[in-house]
Amino acid sequence: MIDLKRKQFFNVFLSITFVLENSKYMSLIVVGTMAFDSIETPFGKSDRIIGGAATYIALSASNFIKPIKQISIIGGDFPQETLDELTARGVDLEGVEIKKDQKSFFWKGKYHLDMNERDTLDTQLNVLGEFNPIVPESYQDAEFVMLGNLVPAVQHSVLKQMKNRPKLVVMDTMNFWMETAMPDLEEVLKHVDVLLVNDSEARQLSAQFSLVKAAKEIMKMGPKYVVIKKGEHGALLFHEDQVFVAPALPLEDIFDPTGAGDTFAGGFIGHIAKTKDISFENMKSAIIIGSAMASFCVEKFGTTRLKEISKEEINDRIHSFVELVNFEIALI
């Protein structure tokens, strides 16, 4: 018996886009730490290198959009060279407070073979202990806001200073704030459109083990979109009853995962701010872009790899992600 099946097409395609670059209308506010990290992984050690959520986010997002309006706080020890590098990449530092006689935030951590877990060996808040960000007047026209992982009340204070509701507010957070500042976290979540968390954080925040149920609970707290990052297992995007599964690039070695989540966030919001499209379909692309950027970040210690990648490398990597999940299938 010959069985003729129905033919259907599903396209994963690289489409033509027309982009107005460097437009004043495409601005993005990035809020978060700029800091020093000391990192130990099974592959090596680094002493006091540049880190911080907002540093990684800005480095990643600057591949997609300029200017980036940075809000952070640093000490007099933060290298001018790094500030100059950021400026050269289109990062506006007007909102970065410099406390000349104080030290920048410092974090020391150690990763084991399973890079999804890490031990914090030392945390020195330094300038971060008195961070009361002021949103400069010149930042007020920003349509997109990326709140990097920070004290929830500080994240909220930035939103409260915005005269117009941004088109999209994306937020990252962590388990520490769920344990120490849950009421503040719940308050800021009411004003957030997209929450980025990892799987264990999603479970903790929602008190649900199933990630599908966790995302549904979190969507009741405010965010209309929830992105659950699963490290080497990829990421999930939830919106209403829709789900998208993004792969991670299978890598031989993850040299240093520090900043991978922030780099993901930078690629995600960078793509959305560039395209100005906040649909579910475009968020899927944004997650692939974020995943591609994160896959670079882990190849070398700290921000090293992020500072050297070219547009061609990013396009090749995006292409690899398309290939990774591309399949053909017949109904039975």
Identify the burial level of 47 via C-beta atoms within 10 angstroms of its C-beta, where 0-12 means exposed, 13-18 middle and 19 or more buried: exposed
Q: Which amino acid type is present at position 83?
A: L
Q: Which amino acid type is present at position 261?
A: G
Residue numbers 227-266 binding its own copies by CB under 8 A: 230, 232-234, 236, 243-248, 250-254
Binds its own copies (CB under 8 A): choice among 132, 160, 164, 329: 329
**Could you tell me if 46 and 301 are in contact, meaning their C-beta atoms sit under 8 angstroms apart?**
yes
Preceding peptide of 67 cis, ω within 30°: yes
Q: Distance between CA 124 and CA 294 in Å, rounded? A: 26
284 binds its own copies (CB under 8 A): yes
Residue numbers 140-199 binding its own copies by CB under 8 A: none
Residue numbers 35-54 binding its own copies by CB under 8 A: none
Closer to its own copies by Cβ: residue 23 or 180: 23
Q: Could you tell me the smallest distance in angstroms from the CB atom of residue 211 to its own copies?
A: 6
Pairing relation of β-strands 144-147 and 118-124? unpaired
Number of residues that bind its own copies (CB under 8 A): 70
End-to-end Cα separation, the chain, in angstroms? 14
Binds its own copies (CB under 8 A): choice among 63, 198, 206, 295: 63
24 binds its own copies (CB under 8 A): no
The angle at the Cα of 82, spanning 76 to 83, to the nearest 5 degrees, equals 70
101 binds its own copies (CB under 8 A): no
Q: Distance between CA 122 and CA 100 in Å, rounded? A: 23
Pairing relation of β-strands 144-147 and 194-198? unpaired
Quick one: which segment of 44-52, 74-82, 122-130, 312-320 binds its own copies (CB under 8 A)?
312-320
Binds its own copies (CB under 8 A): choice among 80, 132, 164, 326: 326
Q: Could you tell me the smallest distance in angstroms from the CB atom of residue 250 to its own copies?
A: 5
Q: Residue 269 gets which letter from DSSP?
A: H
- Give buried/exposed letters for 105-132 (b at 16+ CB in 10 A, else e): bbbbbebeeebbebeeeeeeebbbeebe
90 binds its own copies (CB under 8 A): no
Q: Which x/- pattern over 107-126 shows residues binding its own copies (rule: CB under 8 A)?
A: ------xx------------
22 binds its own copies (CB under 8 A): yes
Q: Distance between CA 38 and CA 107 in Å, rounded? A: 6
Binds its own copies (CB under 8 A): choice among 4, 137, 183, 241: 4
Closer to its own copies by Cβ: residue 74 or 226: 226
- Contacts with its own copies by CB under 8 A lie at 1-22, 63-64, 113-114, 209-213, 230, 232-234, 236, 243-248, 250-254, 275, 281, 284-285, 288-289, 311, 314-315, 318-319, 321-332
